[in-house]
Amino acid sequence: MLAALSAAEPVWTDGHYFGGAARLLRGRAAGLDLAVLDAPHLFSRPGNPYAAANGAEWPDNPQRFAALARMAATIATDDSIGPPPDVVHAHDWQAGLTMAYLDGESRRPATVLTVHNLAFQGNFDAAVLPSLGLPANAFRMEGAEFHGMVGYLKAGLALADAITTVSPTYAAEIQTPEFGMGFDGLLAHRKAALHGILNGIDDAIWDPATDDTIAAKFDVDHLAGRPINKLALQSHFGLDRNADALLLGVISRLSWQKGLDMLLPLRDTLAALGAQLVVIGAGEPDLEHRFRAAAAAHPGRIACFIGYDEALAHKVQAGIDAILIPSRFEPCGLTQLCALRYGALPIVARVGGLADTVIDANAAALDANTGTGLQFSPGQFAQALNRAAGLWSRREIWSRLQRNAMQTDVSWRRPAAQYAALYKSLV
C-alpha cells in the first residue's frame, strides 16, 4: 500500500518528528482515501508492529504509538493538511493518546474511542512523558495519568466524546470490578457516553457458497457439501472418518482469556460422548504443549495444529459440527460469527459478545425454533457438552439449529449503520 502511495505528494514534513525525519503522504489505495505517516526511524523494521522477531517488545513503543496519535490529532486540526474530518475514531490503547493531543484544542472534531479488549491498556512509565510532546496539562487524573503512569487507553477513555466497545454485554460488564480491569469506576462514571456495538465479519470472505479453500461449497439450502467437508477434515487431521461422531472444533489464541485450559480436563467427557476434537491455535507454550500431548494420547479422536493458518480455519469451520468457545471474557469474538455462517453450532460461555450473538437452544428457543447454538454459565462446560451430544443425537433438531445459525446476519451492515448513527449524533 505504501508503494502505491509513495508517488503521492507529501502534504506535511518534519525533520525531527519523534527523533527523525517524517512525512505525511495522502492518496488513494485499495479504494480508500489514505493518509500514511512515513517515519522510517519508527516503523521500518523487521518483526511485527509491536515486537521484534524474537518477541521482545520494541523499547520505543511509547513513542511509536504516540507519533501516530499525534499525527492523527494534527490531521484533525491543521487545515493546511486538508479538510478537517467531522469525527476522529481511535481504536484501543495504540490510538488512545490521540484524545490527549486534541485535549484543550478550541476547534476539534468529535472523538470516538473503541475498546476491543480492555486487557491491553498501554500503560508506560511516566519517564516517557518528556518525549511525547503532550499538552502541558495532559498528565492529570482526568486525562492521561493512570496510577502514576502514562495510560494511553486511559487517556482515550477519559477524554473521548463517546466510547464504544464491541458488544452490548461487554459494555455493561466492563463497568463492574470483575471485568473492568481497573477501569470499572471510570467507565461507570462515563456510562452515558458508553455504547456497545457488535462487530461483524466480511461475509464475502466467510461465505461457504463461494469459499475456494473448502472441499465442497454449500449454503443453507444446499447442505450436501457439509458432510464432504467433515470427512475431508477428518482425513486431513488423521481423525477416524466417521460421519456420526460429533466433531468439535477450536480455533483460537491459546491464552488464559479463552478458557481452553478448562477443555483439557474434559477429555474423558468427550470420549464418553464419542466426540472428536480438532484444535487449531497458538499462544501460551504450556497450553500448546498440553494440546499436543492430548492429541498424541488420543489418536483418531483428538488432533491439533499449533500455529496460525487462516485457510485451515475455513476448512475447520466448514467441517466441524460445533465450535467450542469457553472464554473467561470475550469483548465480541469473531470465531463464533464465522461458525454461525458455516453452520458450525457455537457452544459458548455466556459472556460478552458471545452472549449477544448466540441464541441458546433452550426449551423455549427450541419451541420457537430460534436457537443457533449453546450458551453455558461458568463451571457448566461439561454440562454444555452433554447437552450438545443430546441435541446431536436428535439430528432433525440439530439441522434446524444449523439452518438458524446460517441465517444469522453476521455482516457489517447493521453495525455500520449504528456507527453512522453515533457519528451523526456527535457532530
Write out the residues near ligand ADP by the rule CB under 6 A.
251-253, 280-282, 308-310, 313, 332-335, 338
Q: How far apart (Å, rounded) are the C-alpha atoms in residues 158 and 141?
A: 9
**Which DSSP string do the residues of 12-51 spell out, in sequence order?**
EEEEEETTEEEEEEEEEETTEEEEEEE-HHHH-SSS-SSB
Q: How far is the CB of 79 from ligand ADP (least distance, A)?
A: 37
Q: Is 193 within 8 Å of 187 (Cβ atoms)?
A: no
Pairing of strands 374-376, 345-349: parallel
- Residue 100 vs 295, nearer CB to ligand ADP: 295
> Which set of grid coordinates corresponds to residue 142?
482526568
> Which set of grid coordinates corresponds to residue 164?
464504544
Q: How far is the CB of 269 from ligand ADP (least distance, A)?
A: 24
Distances (CA, A) of 112 to 63, 75, 95, 145, 262: 22, 15, 11, 19, 36
Q: How far is the CB of 114 from ligand ADP (least distance, A)?
A: 13
- Residue 158 vs 251, nearer CB to ligand ADP: 251
Q: How far is the CB of 421 from ligand ADP (least distance, A)?
A: 24
Q: How far is the CB of 42 from ligand ADP (least distance, A)?
A: 25
Phi and psi at residue 343, in whole multiples of 5°?
75, 25
Count of Cβ atoms closer than 10 Å to residue 147 Cβ: 8
- Residue 205 vs 420, nearer CB to ligand ADP: 205
Q: Is 174 within 8 Å of 114 (Cβ atoms)?
A: no
Q: How far is the CB of 320 from ligand ADP (least distance, A)?
A: 12
Radius of gyration of the chain (CA): 24
- Residue 74 vs 255, nearer CB to ligand ADP: 255
- Residue 275 vs 354, nearer CB to ligand ADP: 354
Q: How far is the CB of 167 from ligand ADP (least distance, A)?
A: 10
- Residue 64 vs 258, nearer CB to ligand ADP: 258
- Residue 145 vs 330, nearer CB to ligand ADP: 330
By three-state DSSP, how is residue 386 classified?
A: helix
